[in-house]
Chains A and B, each alone.
Chain A
């Protein structure tokens, strides 16, 4: 079997020799034109006039397009048609594309784009949470509220009430490959697009709208991305549409890539949040009731903000069974980049809220924070586990104000697979938590400027798209008469190793070696109507779809051979590159040839939709997730009080990938996710000035973790488990969940800062050295 093996990334030999092609590496036909956007320089206002003559006159410029020149739809929004490709009368943030330059070279286009002269009637921008609230600038009519039990009553009756506020910064994706697209006009007005996108179907859809053609006139291909992380779920639409329109107008191939600064200035980022919390606890640290208010800064257009903010609410419990909860979520419209999907999709922000509550409560009660967390955990699933219950019917969902209790989430989903109790115990033991915590305390008791901190945090992350209809996938598999296999599915490859995992599934179904399986680019012409490769769902959905397609072909081959060798089709086995039929055995290639000659179809599609989902978004009730993925981490840090600088000394992680399809790839996801999550909450700071200009728009000012920031000791292990649900080979999704393990790094900093005094540090995120330094001062001064 090729599943469950630690095989390297399928394209690794191409990567190490520099031959792996990303969009910008694809050789372009002669006469290819290059595009750049002219950008808004103000955050909010009306365009009074535009003088683009200097742009047109610039060397190498072929054409300049504005909103009025677009032949059909002027929209690149993935949701509600509120995001023009080119500003139409108004601008809504600094960096909004206003006009499009088509030129002979990338450099010529970018230089010319700076020459536009635009007059604005400038208005006061809405930039902060406070400004948005004051102006009632929001998406949807008012806040969304979901409740379980009566949180206010529970808090009022509690022995202690602990309240506070945490600000959580956004995050730039910093995919190392910037956004890019290439449009190649075809005969008859058709358009071929190469796009660095997680969502080829969406690109196809938007390009078709922009060209006024049906979707069947547009083909989108994505071989690989140089990182995506959610930033290429909708943000690539603009480039692909721009290329398509320009190619249509000029009749020539057109390519566009954002230079890094443009990329950071134009595209959306992770939503920053402010979370206010009030928690009522008993003397043992059990949470009796908690109320959260989420304020999400969504930027100027809706994009995916509603499901992002929903997912934050859906993770407001994290691993804890909260008897009474109230979550109020404000989705605020601001004159900044339209915040978008980013690994975790709101889940991390929601989780930071409750982890902050746990940290704060433990500090106030003087309890060990791990013990406090364990007391509030969901009940552990029985070992080995009873079979999960059948799908809840939507009608069975009880009333919104249903009494709390049971092992249910704030949205009424029964937690059937909880295993963090055992995982926590295993991790604490492996990393020698108790002794190390004592050592940290002893070190800090000696005083001095260098202090240490250690912290644990768990992750329970819901797997499935919360927009239920997205939980579907298709695949297309061909077996050629020489026994080689051509594999295609709707998932895209952004480094997560999806193609390899899915190819392992195909090879296993046919009992052949991986070398016989050709992995091919995602292509809307092969598999239609796909969902974005997002929500960690890539291998869950596409693995199952590919399995279905392979099994169809396998059954056909088996039936044919059974007939030919007078055997029972059910006893035909595909193993070790051979097909065994009773006492006979032929090579897989031979079997394929025989089936072909027997006029048996060797091509099949496969389809999968996730079972058991039933979600009522308006009421916030039901089963939005097929299952949960779990993980936990312990991080130790050292902080220098003189500068606020810090280092991560050690990180220990235990993560549940179910029965992993490929442990090497999964461990890579865990390591990368942790480091990215820790980066989000520590060094990665986005700063806008008071005119709405993003000041941190390059790696020189925006600090993602570097090699030198890697924890000195970094132990990552996979939990030895199987998914209780019938996922592909009982594996679990692993793309997003490990990201939130990084919360432990932020909590460890809080722990170190707390050693300087008695008051709670109330550290905001990102905990930059500056913030840590300020927090130390506050704690020292007891305020």
Chain B
């Protein structure tokens, strides 16, 4: 099948790639661009492991085609830290031990960061429902929620 040329921005950098029109954005990220932080947990939009942002909007990259990224700005887990400096959410996830096998963690961080950008002061319930589309089979979610709430509180104080 003829490959299609796509120009997009990923984590702030302009990126060009060729892809099969049937390939998902997730496959492009993982297989063509070496960005394996986004994971495939289901491939059907039900687990959130593949979460990225597209122009600031939380998206399951398994549900979007690579060619649809043309002209858009994609954010992935690899872009959350500022160089060596971890984002406060990343620090809190480590501090709270809010992960076990860690494979859901990239998707959850992308989703949580997106939430805090929209709503710096979410209630516990808002966090729970915002993250309801991100499955985690290991942790039971408690530490995840507390890490997100605590990050929000700390970021509010800092700003």
Which A positions have Cβ atoms within 8 angstroms of B? Answer: 6, 8-9, 11-22, 24-25, 27, 107, 173-178, 224-229, 259-260, 494-497, 664-665, 667-669, 671-676, 698-700, 704-708, 710, 714, 716
Q: Judge if B70 is at the interface, Cβ distance under 8 Å.
A: no
CA A347 to CA B54, docked complex, whole Å? 46
Cβ-closest chain B residue relative to A11: B102
Cβ contact within 8 Å between A176 and B36: no
Cβ contact within 8 Å between B128 and A227: no
Offer 10 A-B interface pairs, CB within 8 angstroms, sorted by A: A16-B80, A21-B36, A176-B138, A226-B39, A259-B43, A700-B44, A707-B127, A707-B141, A708-B128, A710-B145
**Residue from B40, B94, B100 in contact with A672 in the complex, judged by beta carbons closer than 8 Å:** B100
Residue among A9, A19, A175 facing the most chain B CB atoms (10 A cut-off): A9
In the complex, what residues of A have CB within 8 A of residue B152's CB? none
Inter-chain residue pair count (beta carbon < 8 A): 184
Closest 3 CB pairs of A and B: A18-B37, A495-B101, A15-B102
In the complex, what residues of A have CB within 8 A of residue B35's CB? 18
Q: Judge if B47 is at the interface, Cβ distance under 8 Å.
A: yes
Cβ contact within 8 Å between A699 and B86: no
Which B positions have Cβ atoms within 8 angstroms of A? Answer: 22-23, 27, 30, 34-44, 46-47, 49, 76-78, 80-81, 86, 89-90, 93-95, 97, 99-106, 109, 127-129, 131-145
CA A675 to CA B140, docked complex, whole Å? 5
**Residue from B36, B39, B42, B128 in contact with A699 in the complex, judged by beta carbons closer than 8 Å:** B42
**Residue from B37, B44, B80, B137 in contact with A260 in the complex, judged by beta carbons closer than 8 Å:** B44
Residue among A24, A495, A705 facing the most chain B CB atoms (10 A cut-off): A495
**Residue from A12, A176, A229 in contact with B47 in the complex, judged by beta carbons closer than 8 Å:** A176
CA A708 to CA B134, docked complex, whole Å? 10
Cβ contact within 8 Å between B44 and A698: yes
Cβ contact within 8 Å between A12 and B93: yes
Contact (A9, B99) CB under 8 Å given A16-B109, A671-B140: yes
Cβ-closest chain A residue relative to B76: A18
Q: For the A-B complex with A19-B37, A495-B100 known, give 7 more contacts whose Cβ atoms are closer than 8 Å.
A: A8-B94, A18-B106, A673-B140, A700-B44, A705-B140, A707-B127, A707-B144
In the complex, what residues of B have CB within 8 A of residue A12's CB? 93-94, 97, 99, 102
Contact (A664, B97) CB under 8 Å given A16-B109, A495-B138: yes
Contact (A698, B77) CB under 8 Å given A226-B101, A707-B128: no
Cβ contact within 8 Å between B97 and A177: no
Shortest Cβ gap from A17 to chain B (Å): 6
A contact patch SS = loop
CA A260 to CA B43, docked complex, whole Å? 7
In the complex, what residues of B have CB within 8 A of residue A11's CB? 102
Cβ contact within 8 Å between B145 and A16: no
CA A174 to CA B135, docked complex, whole Å? 10
Shortest Cβ gap from B21 to chain A (Å): 12
In the complex, what residues of A have CB within 8 A of residue B103's CB? 20, 22, 176-177, 226-227
CA A705 to CA B47, docked complex, whole Å? 11
**Residue from A16, A228, A665, A673 in contact with B86 in the complex, judged by beta carbons closer than 8 Å:** A16
CA A25 to CA B141, docked complex, whole Å? 25
Contact (A15, B42) CB under 8 Å given A708-B132, A710-B141: no
CA A422 to CA B44, docked complex, whole Å? 48
CA A675 to CA B137, docked complex, whole Å? 9
Shortest Cβ gap from A518 to chain B (Å): 19
In the complex, what residues of A have CB within 8 A of residue B138's CB? 176, 227, 495, 668, 672
CA A497 to CA B30, docked complex, whole Å? 26
Cβ contact within 8 Å between B137 and A704: yes
B contact patch SS = loop
**Residue from A13, A27, A227, A698 in contact with B42 in the complex, judged by beta carbons closer than 8 Å:** A698
In the complex, what residues of B have CB within 8 A of residue A21's CB? 36
In the complex, what residues of A have CB within 8 A of residue B137's CB? 173-176, 227, 229, 672, 676, 704
Shortest Cβ gap from B29 to chain A (Å): 10
Cβ contact within 8 Å between A260 and B41: yes
In the complex, what residues of B have CB within 8 A of residue A700's CB? 44, 46
Cβ contact within 8 Å between B37 and A9: no
In the complex, what residues of A have CB within 8 A of residue B36's CB? 18, 21, 24-25
Shortest Cβ gap from A762 to chain B (Å): 28
Cβ contact within 8 Å between A107 and B22: yes
Cβ contact within 8 Å between A226 and B34: no
In the complex, what residues of A have CB within 8 A of residue B81's CB? 17
In the complex, what residues of B have CB within 8 A of residue A494's CB? 101
Cβ contact within 8 Å between A18 and B142: no
Cβ-closest chain A residue relative to B105: A15
**Residue from B78, B95, B145 in contact with A18 in the complex, judged by beta carbons closer than 8 Å:** B78
Cβ contact within 8 Å between B37 and A176: no
**Residue from B27, B86, B97 in contact with A668 in the complex, judged by beta carbons closer than 8 Å:** B97
Cβ contact within 8 Å between B43 and A17: no
In the complex, what residues of B have CB within 8 A of residue A495's CB? 99-102, 138
Cβ contact within 8 Å between A672 and B140: yes
In the complex, what residues of A have CB within 8 A of residue B139's CB? 668, 671-672, 675
CA A593 to CA B143, docked complex, whole Å? 43
In the complex, what residues of B have CB within 8 A of residue A707's CB? 127-129, 131-132, 134, 136, 141, 144-145
CA A228 to CA B103, docked complex, whole Å? 12
Contact (A17, B86) CB under 8 Å given A12-B94, A226-B39, A672-B100: yes
In the complex, what residues of B have CB within 8 A of residue A227's CB? 100-101, 103, 137-138
Shortest Cβ gap from A653 to chain B (Å): 10
CA A524 to CA B47, docked complex, whole Å? 33
Contact (A224, B101) CB under 8 Å given A17-B86, A176-B135, A707-B128: yes
Cβ-closest chain A residue relative to B144: A707
CA A173 to CA B77, docked complex, whole Å? 26
Residue among A13, A15, A495 facing the most chain B CB atoms (10 A cut-off): A15
Shortest Cβ gap from B77 to chain A (Å): 4
CA A668 to CA B47, docked complex, whole Å? 21
Contact (A699, B135) CB under 8 Å given A177-B103, A259-B43: yes
In the complex, what residues of A have CB within 8 A of residue B101's CB? 175-177, 224-228, 494-495
Contact (A176, B104) CB under 8 Å given A700-B46, A707-B132, A708-B132: yes
Shortest Cβ gap from B15 to chain A (Å): 16
In the complex, what residues of A have CB within 8 A of residue B30's CB? 24-25
Shortest Cβ gap from A195 to chain B (Å): 15
**Residue from A13, A19, A177, A710 in contact with B140 in the complex, judged by beta carbons closer than 8 Å:** A710
CA A17 to CA B26, docked complex, whole Å? 17
CA A707 to CA B145, docked complex, whole Å? 8
Cβ-closest chain A residue relative to B36: A25
CA A21 to CA B35, docked complex, whole Å? 11
In the complex, what residues of A have CB within 8 A of residue B105's CB? 15-16
CA A705 to CA B40, docked complex, whole Å? 19
Cβ contact within 8 Å between A8 and B97: yes
